[in-house]
């Protein structure tokens, strides 16, 4: 063993002999430099903490799990979009307003103008992505910081949502969508519960809890979870395994350097704004079909939650570094803690304190990682 | 199941015959509004030659190379590549014509891996059903091999470029341009931010590139670095060509004097003991 490691050092560096020790070291180093390492450790800690403090409260029973998984899935959807955009070097603060806006675009035309519900949903996606593209276009063209441009769209969209819903319906909460949507394909697409028979069977056999009316406590896997999983998996694969992923990293790492070697930076950034808008619309569609209503204040502050999930997941605020897996773990931490605090019975205000502290720790940790990766001292 | 069609973005290029003119510019003029940045510059870059572009700040070096690399369009003048007159609309056009520019600071993205930097904008892709994925194994092995050829042993091509030294980064950028079939390499002050040892790494690599038959335009402030690798020297001053000299015709000191250009500066230089 010892002889082996001495031999390559004496030979020319062109030899194909690989020193085992070095490989192991670099793999270790590569693992330590993973953007999602901190979020993974955080998630493990959070689970241990609540297993101890809330282990006997039903938090880890089937309905409890569904509870925090729902929050996690919602945040995974917009967090994936936010992470991709942040790696591409931009922010989108209009995500929250977009959720409120697209909810209304689904509800109002269906209920008040008689538009088929499927068309309303398509309209919501088209409008949202057009607004996303416009955000991106303004930012790419004017080279203004995305922070300020999307802050403007945050206010304009929210105001527009309230103003238009009052104009058309004279109210800010539009309910009664269920009668239009029940049985429709889009309602199934965004709010169906998967495998109800299996969950009934689980309840009948006492594996999961039953409600007093003998329904299972968890009627099935909500489509929301499936959407979150699909979006996250696609986001992760595109980012790490395709050339578009390489362009996203390059655009966020150094837009000029990327342009100089022919990366279509503007197209990448505009597309990423359309992706965040798409994710926001999926979020709102799931919510609208779940509740059967839309409200103009939906999605308030969600843009920050999405960014927090991405940052806890290891995305650098300056772009060019991060991962979708990290953002999903960030969303998981968020969901577990927000719901876990309710289960422990502590005042929910503590969640905000925790969130702020978590964010600060994550940012400090990320800048350490960044120094390790770039070799800065 | 897997259709392993690896589409390499470029193949190693056949050797250029030495001495053929690759780029010719004649009376190149560039105005920015009322400012005359280039007032008639002429130069010829030949295969297998290192053409050094010397000049003080404001001499028009940057404008010239940005024009050659497709960032700016010349106001007037002839720009001939491989015997054909060209107008580049973007850096991409220049790249496609075989003119690759390695900018001083903008060459590499420190946070990205060596492989991702090396193949940035020209990722090798592999088909898997209807989807195209980046062929990371292929990219890693090429990046590692190309770096090995120039004597830089990167054990892990997935490591971030930020972990490399400044000289190594310049070398990655140059190796990338060479690999992707550049005929003319424009190096913008590749040594200005480097220490002595790192400078020699880069200069050595420039020589290797020349030996492969590429034309190199080497922009520098440093006459010593230019003289170490250059075959031919063009001195710019105030947007004009002050002269083009072959290495055998001029000494290092004469070149320094030409570059200083101004009589007053020469006097000052002598006052300071010729150390400027």
Distance from CA of A314 to the nearest CA of B (A): 13
A16 pLDDT band, cuts 50/70/90, is very low
Q: What is the CATH number of the domain that holds A173?
A: 1.10.3470
Position A105 in a domain = yes
Angle between helices A324-344 and A349-374 (to 10 degrees): 150
Nearest chain A residue to B116, by CA = A246
Q: Do residues B172 and B146 make contact, with C-beta atoms less than 8 angstroms apart?
A: no
Position A173 in a domain = yes
Position A2 in a domain = no
Q: Do residues A191 and A289 make contact, with C-beta atoms less than 8 angstroms apart?
A: yes
Q: What's the mean pLDDT in A174-179?
A: 90
Distance from CA of B34 to the nearest CA of A (A): 25
Structure confidence at residue A38 (pLDDT) = 83
Q: Do residues B171 and B150 make contact, with C-beta atoms less than 8 angstroms apart?
A: yes
R_g of chain A, CA atoms, integer Å? 23
Structure confidence at residue B105 (pLDDT) = 66
Which site among A12, A257, A259, A368 would you substitute to test the B interface, given the most B Cβ atoms closer than 10 Å to its Cβ? A257
Determine the Cα–Cα distance for residues A41 and A136; give it in Å rounded to an integer. Answer: 34
Distance from CA of B132 to the nearest CA of A (A): 7
Position A23 in a domain = no
Structure confidence at residue A104 (pLDDT) = 96
Determine the Cα–Cα distance for residues A152 and B25; give it in Å rounded to an integer. Answer: 48
The size of the A-B interface in CB pairs under 8 A is 95
CB contact (8 A) between residue B106 and residue A245: no
Structure confidence at residue B63 (pLDDT) = 87
Determine the Cα–Cα distance for residues B111 and B159; give it in Å rounded to an integer. Answer: 9
Structure confidence at residue B4 (pLDDT) = 41
> In chain A, how many domains are there?
1
Among B120, B133, B156, beta carbon nearest to A261: B120
Distance from CA of B4 to the nearest CA of A (A): 15
Chain B residues with CB-CB distance to A241 below 8 A: 133-134, 136
CB contact (8 A) between residue A258 and residue B121: yes
Distance from CA of B59 to the nearest CA of A (A): 23
Among B107, B119, B132, beta carbon nearest to A257: B107
Position A294 in a domain = yes
Cβ-based burial of A216 (10 A; exposed 0-12, middle 13-18, buried ≥19): buried
Structure confidence at residue A333 (pLDDT) = 93
Among A241, A262, A374, beta carbon nearest to B121: A262
Nearest chain A residue to B146, by CA = A14
Angle between helices A62-87 and A265-291 (to 10 degrees): 160
Q: Out of A15-29, A65-79, A221-235, B222-236, which region has the weakest mean confidence (pLDDT)?
A: A15-29
For residue B1, pLDDT beyond 70:
no
B10 pLDDT band, cuts 50/70/90, is very low
Position A20 in a domain = no
CB contact (8 A) between residue A243 and residue B158: no
Give the CB-side neighbour count of residue B13, counting CA atoms within 13 A. 19
- pLDDT tens-digit readout, B99-127: 988 877 666 888 889 999 999 888 898 88
For residue B274, pLDDT beyond 60:
no
Taken in order of first residue, the domains within chain B and their CATH numbers are: 2-271 (3.40.50.300)
B228 pLDDT band, cuts 50/70/90, is confident
Q: What percent of chain A has pLDDT over 70?
A: 91
Position A14 in a domain = no
Determine the Cα–Cα distance for residues A130 and A273; give it in Å rounded to an integer. Answer: 9
Does the pTM of the predicted model rise above 0.90? no
A3 pLDDT band, cuts 50/70/90, is very low
- pLDDT tens-digit readout, A197-234: 888 888 888 888 888 888 888 888 999 999 999 999 99
Position A257 in a domain = yes
* CA A120 centroid distance within chain: 24
For residue B9, pLDDT beyond 50:
no
Backbone angles phi, psi at A294, to 5 degrees: -130, 145
SS3 assignment, position A216: strand
Chain A interface residues facing chain B, Cβ-Cβ under 8 Å?
13-14, 22-23, 26, 29-30, 33, 241-243, 245-247, 249-250, 253-254, 256-263, 316, 320-321, 370, 373-376
Tokens in use for B172?
Answer: 């990655």
Residue B84 to residues B25, B72, B81, Cα–Cα distance (Å):
11, 19, 5
Distance from CA of A256 to the nearest CA of B (A): 7
Structure confidence at residue B157 (pLDDT) = 87
For residue A367, pLDDT beyond 60:
yes
CB contact (8 A) between residue B91 and residue A241: no
* Pick from A170, A98, A243, A175: nearest CA to B120: A243
Chain A residues with CB-CB distance to B107 below 8 A: 257
Chain B residues with CB-CB distance to A26 below 8 A: 155-156, 159
Domain extent at residue A311: 41-374
A298 pLDDT band, cuts 50/70/90, is very high
Among B109, B123, B158, beta carbon nearest to A320: B109
Q: Do residues B38 and B29 make contact, with C-beta atoms less than 8 angstroms apart?
A: yes
Nearest chain A residue to B145, by CA = A14
CB contact (8 A) between residue A246 and residue B153: no
Cβ-based burial of B269 (10 A; exposed 0-12, middle 13-18, buried ≥19): middle
Q: What's the mean pLDDT in B227-234?
A: 89
- pLDDT tens-digit readout, B156-209: 888 888 888 888 888 888 888 888 888 899 998 888 777 788 888 888 888 888
CB contact (8 A) between residue A26 and residue B92: no
Q: Out of A3-17, A238-252, B37-51, B127-141, which region has the weakest mean confidence (pLDDT)?
A: A3-17
| Average model confidence (pLDDT) across chain B | 81
Structure confidence at residue B21 (pLDDT) = 85
């Amino acid at each position: 063993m010892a002889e082996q490691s001495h031999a390559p050092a004496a030979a020319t560096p062109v030899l194909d002999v690989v020193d085992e020790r070095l490989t192991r070291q670099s793999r270790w180093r590569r693992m330590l430099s993973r953007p999602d390492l901190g979020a993974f450790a955080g998630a493990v800690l959070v689970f241990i903490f609540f297993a101890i403090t809330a282990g006997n409260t039903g938090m880890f029973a089937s309905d409890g799990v569904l509870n925090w998984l729902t929050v996690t899935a919602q945040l995974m959807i917009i967090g994936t979009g936010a992470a991709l955009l942040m790696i591409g070097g931009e922010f989108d603060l209009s995500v929250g307003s977009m959720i409120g806006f697209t909810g209304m675009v689904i509800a109002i035309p269906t209920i008040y103008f008689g538009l088929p519900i499927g068309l309303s949903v398509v309209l919501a996606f088209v409008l949202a992505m057009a607004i996303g593209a416009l955000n991106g276009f303004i930012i790419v063209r004017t080279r203004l910081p995305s922070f300020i441009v999307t802050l403007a769209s945050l206010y304009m969209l929210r105001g527009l949502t309230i103003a238009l819903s009052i104009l058309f319906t004279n109210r800010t909460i539009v309910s009664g969508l269920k009668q239009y949507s029940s049985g429709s394909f889009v309602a199934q697409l965004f709010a169906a519960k998967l495998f109800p028979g299996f969950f009934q069977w689980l309840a009948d056999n006492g594996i999961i809890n039953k409600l007093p009316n003998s329904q299972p406590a968890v009627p099935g896997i909500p489509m929301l979870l499936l959407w979150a999983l699909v979006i996250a998996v696609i986001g992760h694969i595109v980012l790490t395994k395709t050339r578009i992923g390489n362009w996203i990293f390059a655009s966020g790492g150094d837009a000029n350097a990327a342009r100089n070697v022919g990366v279509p930076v503007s197209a990448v950034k505009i597309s990423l704004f359309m992706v965040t808008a798409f994710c926001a619309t999926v979020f709102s569609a799931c919510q609208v079909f779940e509740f059967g209503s839309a409200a103009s204040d939906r999605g308030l502050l969600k843009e920050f939650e999405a960014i927090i999930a991405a940052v806890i997941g290891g995305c650098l605020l300056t772009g060019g570094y991060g991962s979708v897996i990290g953002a999903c773990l960030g969303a998981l931490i968020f969901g577990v803690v927000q719901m876990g605090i309710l289960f422990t019975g502590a005042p929910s205000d503590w969640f905000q304190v925790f969130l702020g502290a978590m964010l600060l720790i994550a940012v400090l940790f990320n800048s350490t990682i960044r120094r390790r990766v770039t070799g800065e001292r | 199941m897997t259709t392993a069609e690896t589409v390499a973005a470029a193949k190693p290029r056949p050797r250029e015959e030495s001495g053929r003119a690759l780029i010719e510019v004649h009376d190149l003029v560039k105005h920015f509004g009322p400012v005359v940045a280039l007032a008639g510059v002429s130069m010829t870059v030949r295969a297998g030659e290192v053409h050094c572009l010397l000049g003080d700040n404001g001499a028009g070096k940057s404008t010239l190379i940005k024009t050659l690399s497709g960032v700016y369009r010349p106001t007037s003048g002839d720009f001939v590549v491989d015997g054909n007159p060209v107008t580049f609309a973007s850096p991409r056009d220049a790249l496609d014509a075989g003119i690759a520019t390695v900018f001083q600071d903008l060459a590499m993205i420190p946070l990205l891996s060596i492989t991702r930097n090396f193949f940035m904008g020209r990722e090798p892709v592999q088909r898997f059903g209807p989807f195209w994925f980046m062929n990371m194994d292929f990219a890693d092995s090429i990046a590692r091999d190309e770096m090995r050829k120039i004597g830089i042993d990167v054990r892990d091509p997935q490591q971030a470029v930020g972990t490399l030294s400044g000289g190594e980064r310049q070398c990655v950028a140059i190796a990338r341009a060479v690999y992707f079939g550049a005929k003319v390499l424009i190096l913008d002050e590749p040594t200005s931010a480097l220490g002595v040892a790192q400078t020699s790494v880069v200069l050595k690599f420039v020589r290797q590139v020349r030996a492969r038959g590429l034309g190199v335009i080497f922009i520098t402030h440093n006459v010593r670095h230019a003289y170490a690798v250059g075959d031919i020297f063009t001195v710019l001053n105030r947007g004009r060509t002050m002269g083009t000299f072959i290495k055998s015709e001029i000494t290092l000191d004469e070149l320094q004097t030409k570059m200083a250009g101004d009589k007053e500066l020469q006097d000052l230089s002598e006052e300071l003991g010729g150390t400027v």
